A and B are shown apart, each in its own frame.
Chain A
Amino acid sequence: TQLLEQSPQFLSIQEGENLTVYCNSSSVFSSLQWYRQEPGEGPVLLVTVVTGGEVKKLKRLTFQFGDARKDSSLHITAAQPGDTGLYLCAGALNTGFQKLVFGTGTRLLVSP
């Protein structure tokens, strides 16, 4: 059962454009993480959000955790070719051992 749905699945844009990636679930998460993965490598953590409504900024990337802690979004301003990669959200379910449930992923291609 896939608990986290990401949209869009694939996004191809030109350098300088803005974009938003969504991560949605019917489950409540104690925290949510965003990872970026490049070809041939493992995912690397970008940010962790913990509080409902929390907004975190990482240079041109803005992350938001939904008020009900069921959803999150990643907004990239003025995308650059270096932003190209697979973006994964991962929610922590607080059922005994805190397992991470990963989303389906959004593949971003930014062309010069």
Chain B
Amino acid sequence: NAGVTQTPKFRILKIGQSMTLQCTQDMNHNYMYWYRQDPGMGLKLIYYSVGAGITDKGEVPNGYNVSRSTTEDFPLRLELAAPSQTSVYFCASSYSVRVGNQPQHFGDGTRLSIL
């Protein structure tokens, strides 16, 4: 079972470049999330989606954009990369009923460095 798949696993960007982090899930989950994980800071929610065509901002959305054209895919875009966006990015998905009682299934992360 693939679960949540993220690509790429690693990437180095120059300041000002743009890129898209890909995320796809094969569990037919309605809810999908993007988090960033910085050392000693836990996971912070960037954006989330409750279904195809619906997205909303999380705690730290500045500098990022998302789209959700299908149930399976939830790409995260960085338009103008900045050093502060150096982090490990995790995509997750879950069933829609009572989010806090459902496990969030995570991908293995994308480690992004901006120099």
Cβ–Cβ contact B107 & A42, under 8 A: yes
B101 at the binding interface (Cβ < 8 Å): yes
Cβ–Cβ contact A97 & B48, under 8 A: yes
Contact A97:B100 (CB < 8 A) given known A102-B44, A104-B41: no
Contact A94:B100 (CB < 8 A) given known A43-B43, A104-B40: yes
Interface residues on A, range: 20 to 34
Contact A42:B101 (CB < 8 A) given known A99-B45, A102-B44: no
- A2 surroundings in chain B (CB, below 8 A): 41-42
A29 at the binding interface (Cβ < 8 Å): yes
A-facing residues in B40-54 (Cβ within 8 Å) = 40-45, 48, 50
CB closest chain-A residue, reference B91: A42
CB closest chain-B residue, reference A93: B100
Contact A103:B42 (CB < 8 A) given known A40-B108, A42-B90, A97-B56: yes
State A86–B4 Cα separation when bound (angstroms): 20
User: Shortest beta-carbon distance, B6 to chain A, in Å?
Assistant: 8
B92 at the binding interface (Cβ < 8 Å): yes
Can you show 13 pairs from A to B with CB atoms below 8 A apart? Answer: A2-B41, A31-B98, A33-B103, A40-B108, A41-B108, A42-B4, A42-B107, A45-B104, A92-B100, A94-B100, A98-B98, A98-B100, A99-B48
Which residues of B are interface residues toward A (Cβ below 8 A)? 4, 35, 40-45, 48, 50, 56, 58, 90, 92, 98-101, 103-104, 106-109
